[in-house]
């Protein structure tokens, strides 16, 4: 898929979502005045129903790129401290421009500790070997686990560092390539004055144990609440990202999406 088409799809997704759901922030401000927390999805310990469609363009280098289209659905279970998320991905690669199905995954969330000052949770995401092509998935069943500890800061922000481990479950794919990767993540959510908008910073350090490669990344999310839609609270967001270090597998990326929560 060409860069122009990828960026056009990204801009179009945001434009359509905004046109369908846009409103001013009066109701959001009223909720805040009434002491109600505006759940925009940035608090990792506050689990809620979510439906998401998001598109990501990845620039590997000046000559190579790839795209990823994802559909996600998340639902709390039990007492609300646990949740399940289902992800249906479609991707292409520099070797094939067609968007084909990737590795479908199911993620389990468990917020096992929560106070007014702190919270802790772990996740486990199981990737099924469903990719239609070798370059669209891991080529084996894989598991990604994470544990994070959230600090609810006095200024209203959230700092939630995490340890993420991604590994294969079958000893390698058909080409004998094994998967074992560690990510140390430093997720931060600043408190913005206008509750209609939100922002997150997500720097990380990644180490690939199989190839002995280390690189860094930074993603910044800019989002806007766009009012009631489909029985919930809608939002649009854009998430540019960069990768750095000599071992980085790509240069930069940009993701745009539309999300409905709390339905």
Q: What is the pLDDT of residue 255?
A: 98
Q: Which residues contact 64 (CB under 8 A, 6 or more apart)?
A: 94
Task: Give the pTM.
Answer: 0.86
Confidence of residue 95 (pLDDT cuts 50, 70, 90): confident
CA 212 to chain centre: 25
DSSP states of 200-213: EEEEEEEEETTTTE
Strand ranges (DSSP E) for the chain?
50-59, 65-77, 82-93, 96-101, 105-114, 118-127, 142-152, 158-168, 180-189, 197-208, 213-229, 232-244, 252-261
DSSP assignment letter at 191: P
Domains with residue ranges and CATH for the chain: 3-261 (2.40.160.40)
Over residues 154-167, the mean pLDDT reads 97
CA-based nearest residue to 88, from 73, 100, 70, 106: 70
Range name among 26-35, 37-46, 57-66, 179-188 with the lowest pLDDT average = 26-35
Over residues 12-32, the mean pLDDT reads 44
Report d(CA 204, CA 221) in Å as an integer. Answer: 14
Which residue(s) pair with 252 in the sheet? 59, 242
């Amino acid at each position: 898929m060409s860069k122009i088409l990828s960026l056009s799809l990204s801009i179009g997704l945001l434009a359509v979502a905004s046109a369908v759901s846009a409103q001013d922030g009066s109701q959001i401000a009223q909720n805040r005045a009434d002491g109600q927390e505006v759940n925009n999805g940035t608090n990792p310990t506050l689990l809620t129903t979510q439906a998401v469609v998001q598109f990501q363009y990845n620039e590997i280098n000046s000559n190579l790129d790839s795209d990823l289209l994802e559909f996600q659905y998340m639902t709390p279970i039990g007492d609300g401290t646990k949740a399940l998320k289902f992800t249906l991905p479609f991707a292409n690669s520099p070797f094939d421009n067609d968007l084909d199905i990737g590795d479908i995954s199911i993620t389990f969330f468990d917020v096992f500790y929560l106070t007014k000052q702190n919270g802790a949770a772990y996740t486990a995401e199981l990737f099924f070997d469903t990719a239609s092509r070798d370059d669209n998935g891991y080529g084996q069943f894989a598991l990604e686990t994470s544990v994070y500890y959230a600090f609810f800061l006095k200024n209203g922000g959230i700092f939630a560092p995490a340890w993420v481990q991604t590994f294969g479950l079958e000893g390698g794919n058909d080409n004998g390539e094994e998967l074992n990767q560690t990510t140390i993540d430093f997720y931060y959510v600043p408190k913005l004055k206008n509750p209609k908008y939100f922002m997150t910073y997500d720097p990380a350090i990644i180490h690939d144990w199989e190839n002995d490669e280390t690189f860094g990344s930074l993603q910044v999310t800019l989002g806007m609440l766009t009012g009631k839609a489909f029985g919930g609270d809608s939002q649009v967001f854009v998430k540019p990202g960069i990768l750095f270090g000599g071992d980085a597998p790509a240069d930069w990326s940009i993701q745009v999406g539309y999300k409905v929560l709390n339905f």
